Amino acid sequence: MRKIKALFTITLYCSLLLSLISCNDNDPTISGNDELANSIQSITYYTENYPPFNYEEHGSIFGLSVDILDELFSTMNVNLNRQNVDLDLWSTAYNLTLTTENTMLFSMLRNTERENLFKWVGPIAPQKEVIISLSSSGVVINTSDDLHNYKIGVIEDYGNIQLLLDYGINIGDLNQVKTVNQLYTQLQNGTVDCIAYSEISHNLIIGGLGLVESDFEISYVMKVNELYYAFNITTSDDIINHFQNALDELKNDKTIDGSSKYEKIISNYNIINYSDDGITNEQVINLVNRTSNDIIADAPGTFTKMNNYEHPYRDEVYPALYSFAYDTSLTIVAHASNIMLVGNNFKGKTDVSGKPFRDEILSGALENGSGWEDYIYTKPGEGGLYYKTTYYKLTEGSDGKLYIVCAGKYK
């Protein structure tokens, strides 16, 4: 009888195991993920020479946007890497991505004119669009009206062309070329008076072209824009959402050592930006005081509202103005901008410059009660790294525990 029971048990276990295996084989989630991965692997990825975002060196493709894309492929667990990216002329790659299914181009400026031509994942990083002239040229541009006085060189299909058109420049008055080498050659030989290009790319490209930095000057700043990955308009929303979720995770997950993989990549290229959102010190202090008072009255309820990104803990007008709170072990108990950080301890963890700013906030709060701390951080809804200053205040909550309540502004 025992043998029969044992045999029955083994048979039943095997049946259940086979059933589970069969279920897994037919699991729509698993097959859906495989199908999504296959679709991502079928896309042709295009880029151009546009340092530091994307460029070719010794037969391989490098750059900030390339490094991020590599991490996205890894995060999404697809069998792709930078070697699967095709480098071409911008105008060629742009038109192919515009007209051909299963294509993507980076790094592309996202603007009103292009908005409905592509599907977008980003932002990757900010860039400053400028007008560059020779230092000896005598070009003077104080306002956008002065742009009409000069012949300006541009690269075909670049987003800065639309900026110039918005300033009232006629398309026929722009001297369009296909490559950055041609752009700078025309500036040097006097074919054009000035050129439109990215400031950071200019700072890097002149060395690669063997040019002297002091021979050039920034004559005018047109606009700071964001760069994106641009997909052909027929790309499925599932693919776009998968990419965007992976990028958001890359930016927001700072739990391992205090700074995200995205921050580390940006830091490798030494791109740290200044930003003025119009947020004042008074607004920051008022938000900390309001949050502190609410925690004194009802700590659990306030933390719930903060983690739900409710106003005023995340400002409706200025999303870069938000409050967050640590306990005295430097575990984040509430965050009105990044729920991923809540419950994680950040003691000894640093920003990308190596500064343990959270530890300094804690020691300042315990010693002085309140104060300000500077560090480098990401900005909600935007690409890149920014200088930030945060006001903090030691607070005893309604639960009798001590918290450090914080809010900051980018500068």
Return all residues near 302 (Cβ < 8 A) that are at least 6 apart.
291, 294, 295, 313, 334
Q: What is the pLDDT of residue 32?
A: 55
Hey, what amino acid is at 23?
A: C
Q: Model pTM? A: 0.79
CATH 3.40.47.10 given to domain 130-226: no
| Whether the Cβ atoms of residue 67 and residue 75 lie closer than 8 Å to each other | no
Mean pLDDT, the chain cut into blocks of 10 residues (411 residues total): 37 37 40 82 96 90 97 96 96 97 97 95 94 96 96 94 95 95 96 95 85 95 93 98 97 95 92 84 98 98 98 96 98 98 97 96 98 96 93 98 98 91
CATH architecture classification, 33-125+228-257: 3-Layer(aba) Sandwich (3.40)
Burial (0-12, 13-18, 19+ Cβ within 10 Å), 190: exposed
Q: What is the pLDDT of residue 31?
A: 44
CATH 3.30.70.360 given to domain 273-410: no
Tell me whether the CATH fold assigned to 33-125+228-257 matches the one assigned to 130-226: yes
Return all residues near 150 (Cβ < 8 A) that are at least 6 apart.
133, 139, 141, 192, 193, 194
Which residue bears the tokens 């993507």? 104
Domain boundaries, the chain: 2-31, 33-125+228-257, 130-226, 273-410
Return all residues near 24 (Cβ < 8 A) that are at least 6 apart.
30
Give the pLDDT confidence of 218-264 residue by residue, as tens digits.
999 999 889 999 999 999 999 999 999 999 999 999 999 999 999 99
Q: Which two tokens stand for residue 262?
A: 């995205």
Q: What is the pLDDT of residue 224?
A: 87
Residue 212 DSSP code: -
Q: What is the pLDDT of residue 15?
A: 40
Q: What is the pLDDT of residue 127?
A: 87
Q: How far apart are CA 291 and CA 296, in angstroms?
A: 9
Q: How far apart are CA 212 and CA 206, in angstroms?
A: 7
Q: What is the pLDDT of residue 274?
A: 78
Buried b (16+ CB within 10 A) or exposed e, 233-269: eebeeebeebbbebbebbbbbbeeebbbbbbebbbeb
Q: How far apart are CA 185 and CA 403, in angstroms?
A: 60
Q: What is the pLDDT of residue 22?
A: 39
